[in-house]
Amino acid sequence: MKSTPLRLRVNGKTIETMVEPNQRLLDFLRDELRLTGVKEGCGVGECGACTVIMNGQAVNSCLVLVGQANGADVLTVEGLAEDGELSPLQQSFIDHGAVHCGFCTPGMVMSAQALLMKNPKPSRSEIKTALSGNLCRCTGYQQIVAAVEGVIKKVGADSAK
Amino acid sequence: MKEFDFVRAGTLSEALEFLAVRHTATRVIAGGTDLMITLRRNDPSWPGPGYILDLTGLDCLRGISREGDRIRIGALTTHTQLAESPLLKDKVPFLSAAAFSVGSPQIRNRGTIGGNIINASPAADTLPPLLALEARCRLVSREGERDVSLTELLTGPYRTSLRPQEILKEVYFQIPGEGTGFSFQKVGRRKALSISRLSVAVLLSLVEGQVGKARVAVGAALANAARLPEVEEFLEGRLLDRDVAQEAGKLAAEKVVEITGRRWSTPYKEPVLLALVRRALLAAGAPQSP
Ligand SMILES: Cc1cc2nc3c(=O)[nH]c(=O)nc-3n(C[C@H](O)[C@H](O)[C@H](O)COP(=O)(O)OP(=O)(O)OC[C@H]3O[C@@H](n4cnc5c(N)ncnc54)[C@H](O)[C@@H]3O)c2cc1C
Ligand code: FES
Ligand code: FES
């Protein structure tokens, strides 16, 4: 197995390094970059805990070979806060009690973030569709959908001020 | 995880050259949503590939376009792109609907039509509508291109007639005429018990309620997704009403049982298939069907 060169952007920083060719993007983010907000649940694309945004789209980082991310722009949950302040979406998850054990939360937040980047005013059914690849064993999903709806209303209200 | 070297193709000719020399040791990867799972499976009887050849950098294999009376879809086009394409939603809405039914947003963002075809799962969701459209596939190797019908390409569960030196480049079909009705119906989830999965795609041209052309394809019922010619023949020339739709559903279920034989899942699948075919026919026959 020959290690291969990798160049990509992660949370706005350009990274150039050598990687093992059979690493998943998930392993690279967690083990090499220590971005442990990216979680491994099922490892087979079913749970969404490993969701990151790659070139503007939510993807399961457990199903991406690291080499396939060459040249990509990757955003993880660690990239959302600015100057130590949680993003409005993250804050809304807390305010709506959408975080219980928290294992699914980074993936949920990234799926919601990907939706809002594409569609700033999604309907409830669009929110549900966007979160349909993320499993949560604790909340029953209501609070999570409410958290996403909450941030849409809040951002709307703030910009109307 | 298997061990392999990773090669990212920069151009199509580079990819074809690589395959021409190293095809016996190489697997190509597109979205990886099927292949990654195979590569991680702990199967000691399979050493894994020597090389993984990544096609996702080949933008020339991506995209949906209209060429005269045809639509062509590049093999690397994702399910998300199929589901959102205004051209497909307008001309062949059942194909967008099938793509939208795949997995989850994350899977649709990575998974490609080419991977769906070449993986050749009996339950692959884009296959029934593509079969109903009589789609053809363009395969390329260093030696040149060849076209085969999708039916000829699918040779069994998870098996195709693609040669190891070849790549699927694109799939194409004739745009159905104005007034054609479409429907894609599916029950069951991928991880749910496999008996509870079935899908049906129907394409119908109707003139004053009378069926001109009928195409009926089923997924997850047979070794590969497949058309049911007897059902199509039964429908052609008839006035489509509930009774005819019911009869066609019955015939579809009978034909499937005839091919597969009675199995433990038959008591479930038979009535569900009947109902799905009936529902698909009535939806495709209704004016402005989805
Ligand atoms: C959680 C989950 C849910 C899923 N749900 C569904 C579902 O509801 N419906 C459904 O139909 N599928 C589903 N799938 C399966 C999968 O997502 C699709 O089959 C997808 O279209 C595969 O495309 P890919 O690009 O990811 O293929 P890959 O995994 O990259 O490749 C699959 C196979 O095709 C070959 N291949 C890929 N592209 C080419 C090409 N251009 N030329 C030659 N060979 C090629 C590869 O070598 C490999 O053998 C699901 C998968 C997961 C993990
Ligand atoms: S760990 Fe990737 S989807 Fe579950
Ligand atoms: S909060 Fe525990 S899994 Fe979602």
Q: What does the pLDDT look like over A103-150, one tens digit per residue?
A: 999 999 999 999 999 999 999 999 999 999 999 999 989 999 999 999
How far apart, in whole angstroms, are the C-alpha atoms of residue B106 and residue B78?
11
CATH 3.10.20.30 given to domain A4-79: yes
- CB-neighbour burial class of residue B129 (10 A; exposed 0-12, middle 13-18, buried 19+): buried
The count of C-alpha atoms lying within 13 angstroms of the C-alpha of A129, restricted to the half-sphere facing its C-beta, is: 14
Following DSSP, what letter does each residue of B51-118 receive, concatenated?
Answer: EEEE-TT-GGG--EEEETTEEEEETT-BHHHHHH-HHHHHH-HHHHHHHHTSS-HHHHHH-BHHHHHH
List the structure tokens of A127. 């929110």
- If you average pLDDT over every residue of chain B, what do you get? 94
Q: What is the pLDDT of residue A35?
A: 98
How far apart, in whole angstroms, are the C-alpha atoms of residue B257 and residue B266?
7
CATH 1.10.150.120 given to domain A88-160: yes
Q: What is the pLDDT of residue B290?
A: 43
CATH 3.40.50.300 given to domain B180-285: no
Q: Which residues of B85-96 are buried (b: 16+ CB within 10 A; e: fewer)?
A: beebbebbbbbb
Least confident of A49-53, A85-89, B195-199, B204-208: B195-199
How far apart, in whole angstroms, are the C-alpha atoms of residue B146 and residue B44?
35
Q: What is the pLDDT of residue B289?
A: 45
- How is domain B60-174 classified at the CATH fold level? 3.30.465
> In the structure, what pLDDT confidence band is assigned to residue A153 with cuts at 50, 70 and 90?
confident
Q: Is A51 on the interface with B (CB under 8 A)?
A: yes
Q: C-alpha angle A116/A26/A64, rounded to 5°?
A: 80
Q: Which distant-in-sequence residues (6+ apart) come within 8 Å of B139 by Cβ?
A: B145, B146, B147, B148, B162, B163, B166, B167, B168, B169
A93, pLDDT greater than 90: yes
Q: Is the dihedral of CA B155, B161, B34, B129 positive or negative?
A: negative
Selecting from A64, A67, A130 the residue whose C-beta is nearest the C-beta of B105 gives A130
Which residues in chain A have their CB less than 8 angstroms from residue B1's CB?
A: 22, 24
- The verdict on a CB contact (< 8 Å) between B104 and A48 is yes
How far apart, in whole angstroms, are the C-alpha atoms of residue B254 and residue B251?
5
Highest CATH level, class, for B5-54: alpha beta
- CA-nearest residue for atom 2, ligand 3, is A101
Q: Where are the domains of chain A?
A: 4-79, 88-160
Task: With CA atoms as reference, report the closest residue to B113 among B9, B30, B220, B199.
Answer: B30
Q: What is the pLDDT of residue A136?
A: 96
| Mutate which of B6, B35, B58, B140 for ligand 1 pocket (most atoms within 8 A of beta carbon) | B35
Q: What is the pLDDT of residue B42?
A: 82
pTM of the model: 0.96
Taking a C-beta distance cutoff of 8 angstroms, is the pair B92, B8 a contact?
Answer: no
Residue of A nearest to B106 (CA): A59
Q: Which distant-in-sequence residues (6+ apart) come within 8 Å of B8 by Cβ?
A: A67, A68, A70, B54, B56, B57
Cα B52 to ligand 2 centre (Å): 21
For chain B, residues with pLDDT lower than 50 are 289-290
Q: What is the pLDDT of residue B54?
A: 98
How far apart, in whole angstroms, are the C-alpha atoms of residue B113 and residue B11?
20
ipTM of the shown complex: 0.96
How far apart, in whole angstroms, are the C-alpha atoms of residue A92 and residue B98?
34
Task: With CA atoms as reference, report the closest residue to A58 among B101, B107, B62.
Answer: B107
Per-residue pLDDT reduced to its tens digit, B54-65: 999 999 999 999
Selecting from B31, B106, B110 the residue whose C-beta is nearest the C-beta of A48 gives B106
Q: Is B80 on the interface with A (CB under 8 A)?
A: yes
Taking a C-beta distance cutoff of 8 angstroms, is the pair B152, B160 a contact?
Answer: no
Q: Where are the domains of chain B?
A: 5-54, 60-174, 180-285
Q: What is the pLDDT of residue B239?
A: 95
